[in-house]
């Protein structure tokens, strides 16, 4: 592949950012979810019972997918070793405002995405320059399978650099805000095992790196962990035992931070059990905040507060998933007792910003802009100016109210109920044995 070596060669063909139809499906016991199913092997069978229509990809996950696609293109299209970092960032920012449809979401690429991708490109560049490694040593979005473990044991490494007879470097870009540790990270260890057993069997050590620019960490956005074959072999035995556990009908269910991206958390009995336990035991000893004295505060063990706060994070994720499923069901025509679909609130906007700006400049002159920002006035601000100047409101440019979609809210909300907008896109789940019991939601 011909790589861009100068700014003059740069192009930004929008079609390369579109989702490809042949993208590989994730495995239920794949590397990307290893942190979850190794802790909670029972989550695999629970997830299999969730209908596909209820397994909704959130906008943050879709944003991350597009970010990974930008990373892939940067590492394969740019001669990033020769380019200055400023030029790399210039190319990445060249995609700003590009709109990409991903998993049902309209993602607008921006400077935040460019900065996140730059971090991993810069680190890969630094390591390759240190070893004077050619591009042939680098693999991007490298897919692997470990059939000796299981037919579904597979994964895709974001970036991998093999220095023959020396070191295997592995990078994983995380675009979320939930901090991920690099030390003995199950996903990265899984990647290392997959790479070692397929393409990189002639190395003596491994360096696994998490690149997470959007989450604060004391060690910075780029964090690495070095290990040898002995440690990798020990992890291999852990994987074997964990996969075996997932096959059991009564596999262990364990709630924790790993539940965040679990498709089964919406109807997980372990989360419900833990919720009931925390509410009945831990919360019962929390005094009224208005009555907490210094002495009482000291009596409350920090460990107890930590336990409650950690549960709060889990509980928020769980409730968020339940809300998402309820919204999907309501949009498919299922009535959720006590709730209704209403139009999302929307601020009024100009029908045409360019036309409104031109007209208001003629009518109210410099007052068409807020000097302190500077920023073109909104319809509400323009109306205040018209009122103060006693101008005829009929001279105002066209004002519209955008359709922001719907939201599921309480039945006593004063906004009128709207009909589901995507009824025809949903089908009835025929296999009732694999569907969740909606009456329990």
Q: Which helix (H) or strand (E) holds 101?
A: strand 99-102
Percentage of the chain lying above the pLDDT 70 cut: 80
Give exposure, 358-382, as e/b (b: 16+ Cβ within 10 Å).
ebbeebbeebbbeeeeeebbbbeeb
Percentage of the chain lying above the pLDDT 90 cut: 44
Spatial distance between the Cα atoms of 70 and 357, rounded to a whole number of angstroms: 35
Query: Residue 268 — pLDDT band, cuts 50, 70, 90?
Result: confident
Least confident of 67-81, 248-262, 306-320, 351-365: 306-320
The CA-based dihedral angle spanning residues 243, 42, 432, 406, taken in that order and rounded to the nearest 10 degrees: -110
What number is the average pLDDT over the span 171-177? 93
**In the chain, where the domains are located:** 7-246, 257-312, 349-400
* Higher pLDDT, residue 425 or 9: 9
pLDDT of residue 434: 35
Residue 387 near residue 297, CB atoms below 8 Å:
no
What number is the average pLDDT over the span 194-204? 82
- How buried is 327 (Cβ within 10 angstroms: 0-12 exposed, 13-18 middle, 19+ buried)? middle
Q: Which helix (H) or strand (E) holds 159?
A: strand 154-163
Least confident of 202-211, 243-252, 338-347, 387-396: 338-347
Least confident of 88-97, 182-191, 377-386, 416-425: 416-425
What number is the average pLDDT over the span 392-404? 86
Q: Which fold would CATH assign to domain 7-246? A: Lambda Exonuclease; Chain A (3.90.320)
Query: Residue 54 — pLDDT band, cuts 50, 70, 90?
Result: low
Helices (H) and strands (E) in the chain, counts: 12, 13
Query: Residue 321 — pLDDT band, cuts 50, 70, 90?
Result: low
In this predicted structure, the answer to whether residue 186 has a pLDDT above a threshold of 70 is yes
pLDDT of residue 93: 95
Token pair recorded at residue 166:
């020396």
Comparing CA positions, the residue from 189, 208, 206 lying closest to residue 146 is 189
SS3 49: coil
pLDDT of residue 222: 96
Comparing CA positions, the residue from 64, 247, 228 lying closest to residue 151 is 247
Token pair recorded at residue 33:
């979810």
Residue 182 near residue 223, CB atoms below 8 Å:
yes
Spatial distance between the Cα atoms of 302 and 16, rounded to a whole number of angstroms: 51
pLDDT in tens, 18-45: 876 444 456 889 998 999 999 999 998 8
pLDDT in tens, 332-361: 778 888 888 888 887 888 888 889 989 999
155 bridge partner residues: 144
pLDDT of residue 228: 94
Query: How many C-beta neighbours within 10 Å does residue 289 have?
Result: 6
Look at the chain and count its residues: 441
Global pTM reads 0.67
Q: Are strands 167-173 and 205-211 parallel, antiparallel or unpaired?
A: parallel
> Who contacts 322 (Cβ-Cβ below 8 Å, separation ≥6)?
266, 441
In this predicted structure, the answer to whether residue 389 has a pLDDT above a threshold of 50 is yes
Residue 53 near residue 332, CB atoms below 8 Å:
yes
DSSP states of 108-137: E--HHHHHHHHHHHHHHHHHHHHHT--GGG
In this predicted structure, the answer to whether residue 433 has a pLDDT above a threshold of 50 is no
pLDDT of residue 407: 80
Average pLDDT score over the chain: 83
Token pair recorded at residue 378:
């909104």
Residue 4 near residue 91, CB atoms below 8 Å:
yes
pLDDT of residue 437: 37
The DSSP 8-state label assigned to residue 17 in this structure reads G
């Amino acid at each position: 592949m011909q790589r861009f070596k100068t700014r003059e060669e740069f192009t930004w063909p929008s079609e390369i950012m579109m989702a490809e139809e042949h993208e590989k499906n994730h495995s239920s016991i794949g590397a990307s979810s290893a942190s979850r199913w190794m802790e909670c092997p029972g989550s695999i069978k629970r997830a299999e019972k969730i209908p596909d229509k209820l397994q909704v990809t959130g906008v943050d996950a879709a944003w991350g997918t597009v970010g990974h696609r930008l990373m892939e293109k940067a590492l394969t299209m740019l001669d990033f070793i020769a380019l200055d970092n400023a030029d790399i960032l210039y190319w990445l920012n060249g995609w700003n405002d590009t709109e990409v449809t991903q998993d049902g979401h309209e993602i607008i690429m921006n400077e935040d995405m460019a900065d996140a991708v730059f971090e991993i490109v810069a680190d890969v560049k630094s390591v390759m320059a240190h070893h004077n490694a050619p591009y042939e040593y680098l693999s991007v979005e490298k897919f692997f399978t470990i059939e000796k473990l299981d037919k579904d044991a597979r994964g895709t490494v974001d970036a991998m650099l093999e220095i023959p007879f020396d070191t295997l470097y592995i990078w994983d870009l995380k675009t979320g805000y939930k901090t991920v540790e690099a030390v003995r990270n199950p996903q990265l260890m899984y990647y290392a095992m997959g790479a070692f057993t397929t393409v990189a069997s002639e190395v003596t050590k491994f360096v696994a790196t998490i690149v997470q620019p959007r989450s604060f960490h004391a060690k910075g956005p780029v964090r690495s962990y070095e290990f040898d074959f002995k440690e990798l072999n020990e992890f291999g035995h852990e994987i074997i035992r964990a996969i075996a556990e997932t096959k059991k009908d009564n596999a262990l269910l364990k709630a924790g931070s790993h539940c965040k991206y679990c498709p089964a958390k919406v109807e997980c009995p372990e989360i419900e059990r833990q919720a009931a336990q925390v509410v009945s035991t831990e919360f019962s000893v929390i005094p009224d905040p208005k009555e907490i004295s210094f002495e009482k505060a000291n009596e409350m063990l920090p460990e107890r507060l930590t336990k409650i706060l950690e549960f709060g994070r889990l509980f928020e994720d769980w409730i968020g998933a339940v809300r998402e499923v309820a919204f999907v069901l309501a949009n498919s025509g299922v009535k959720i007792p006590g709730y209704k679909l209403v139009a999302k609130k929307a601020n009024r906007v100009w029908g045409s910003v360019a036309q409104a700006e031109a007209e208001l400049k003629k009518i109210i002159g410099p007052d068409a802009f807020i000097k302190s920002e500077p920023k073109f006035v909104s319809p509400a601000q323009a109306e205040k100016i018209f009122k103060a100047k006693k101008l005829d409101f009929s001279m105002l440019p066209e004002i519209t109210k955008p359709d922001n979609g719907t939201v599921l809210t309480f039945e006593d909300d004063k906004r009128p109920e709207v009909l589901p907008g995507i009824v025809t896109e949903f089908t009835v789940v025929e296999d009732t044995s694999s569907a969740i019991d909606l009456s329990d939601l």
